[in-house]
Amino acid sequence: MSRWSYFAKRLVLSIPVILFGTTITFFVIYAGPIDPAYAILGSQATPDKVADIHRQLGMNQPMWEMYFDYIVDMFTFNLGNSWVIRPDLTAYEVIMDFAPRTVLMGAWAVILPLFVGIPLGFYAGLNPNTLGDYTASFGGIIWRAMPNFWLAVLLLLVLSRSEEFLFGFSWESFIYSTPVAGAPDMENIWNFENFLRASKVVIPGAMVLGSASMGNEMRIGRTAFLEARNSNYVEMARAKGLPGRSIVWKHIFRNALIPLVPVITAEAGVLVGGSVLVETVFGINGIGWLFFTAMTSGDLPLAAALMFLFILLLVGLNILQDFLYTIIDPRVGFESN
């Protein structure tokens, strides 16, 4: 089986998974107790007005007809209109208005653990039972154990009073004058200066969001590096007289990355759910905050559209994981069985 045939098969097999997740989403959201009519009418809600809103929104149709329309709309990317949050806009327009903030924060939340957690884990594995190893391992345990919401509040407190806690260092005036918390300005983000300003606003949230990932990658990276270092093929390479640097980069490093691939891709998906609390604490108001608000306010089409996009993201990350496996580990084949 060729590489392209393998990935075509993976794409086809992902369709039932997406359909199942979308079906569960429909029954949880549309057949649940949330009634958007009361969110729209507020204190003016009466039985007649509620029934009229139900007719306008098409909620008086049979459940099977609503389900069929919902599945067709999702798979054709007709995400519908927002009912409550922004009734004058489509769900797609609302999502695209909030998504850049979460994408920027999520990108930093993935990059920071990659360039901090994995190198520290490999350093600890390269120098076992040393002070650096103990310090990195202890730090990984601490970062992994701290709850996100607690760390977010603690970091917000420290940065808002950074001159007092950090010996005169002011986070608000560092490089660019920005608030400690709040939604970043995403206009003209491709301008380098604007990108740095927006990044500075979301980096505290990204540090909190990626803290558990950094701890996991540090600990797993250390274990994987030690296992690869003590493997038979590394001993054979040493016996052949290969330089230590060549052994580390060509034999140990690449094989130590293999168990980290599912960790990185899985935690990239967890960032979506974890961003709800972090965005709320730091006032970033991205996709996580939007999903929470849509659910609590009864904006069912917007909440369903976001869940559908989350499902696509998680399935796509699983396919990406398989692709990365084939690149890093040449032993992975494409057999039809």
Q: What is residue 331's predicted lDDT score, i.e. its pLDDT?
A: 61
Cβ atoms 51, 40 nearer than 8 A: no
> What average pLDDT does range 18-22 have in this prediction?
93
> Which residues are 81's β-sheet partners?
90
Least confident residue range of 95-99, 120-124, 253-257, 301-305: 253-257
DSSP class of 184? -
Phi-psi region of 188 (alpha: psi -120 to 50; beta: other; left: phi over 0): left
Least confident residue range of 123-127, 209-213, 323-327: 323-327
Q: What is residue 18's predicted lDDT score, i.e. its pLDDT?
A: 93
Q: What is residue 20's predicted lDDT score, i.e. its pLDDT?
A: 94
> What average pLDDT does range 306-324 have in this prediction?
85
Residue indicated by tokens 């990317």: 77
Report d(CA 315, CA 20) in Å as an integer.
12
| Structural tokens at position 252 | 């140990």
Q: For 171-183, what is each residue's pLDDT tens digit?
A: 888 888 888 888 8
pLDDT of 68 strictly over 80: yes
Instruction: Kindly report the average pLDDT of the chain as a whole number.
Output: 83
Q: What is residue 337's predicted lDDT score, i.e. its pLDDT?
A: 47
The alpha carbons of the chain give a radius of gyration, in whole angstroms, of 24
Phi-psi region of 241 (alpha: psi -120 to 50; beta: other; left: phi over 0): left
pTM for the structure as a whole: 0.79
Cβ atoms 278, 270 nearer than 8 A: no
pLDDT of 74 strictly over 80: yes
Task: For the beta carbon of residue 206, count every other beta carbon within 10 angstroms.
Answer: 25
Cβ-Cβ contacts under 8 Å for 304 (sequence gap 6 or more): 25, 26, 29, 30, 70, 74, 80
The CATH H-level superfamily of 92-328 is MetI-like (1.10.3720.10)
Q: For 200-253, what is each residue's pLDDT tens digit?
A: 999 998 888 888 778 888 888 888 888 888 888 888 888 888 887 888 887 788
Q: For 82-112, what is each residue's pLDDT tens digit?
A: 888 888 889 999 999 988 888 888 888 888 8
Cβ-Cβ contacts under 8 Å for 42 (sequence gap 6 or more): none
Cβ atoms 175, 247 nearer than 8 A: no
Report d(CA 244, CA 263) in Å as an integer.
28
Report d(CA 159, CA 170) in Å as an integer.
8
Q: What is residue 165's predicted lDDT score, i.e. its pLDDT?
A: 84
Among residues of the chain, what percentage have pLDDT more than 90? 7
Write the single-letter amino acid at 142.
I
Q: For 263-299, what is each residue's pLDDT tens digit?
A: 777 766 666 666 778 888 888 888 888 988 888 888 8
Task: Please state the domain extents for the chain.
Answer: 92-328
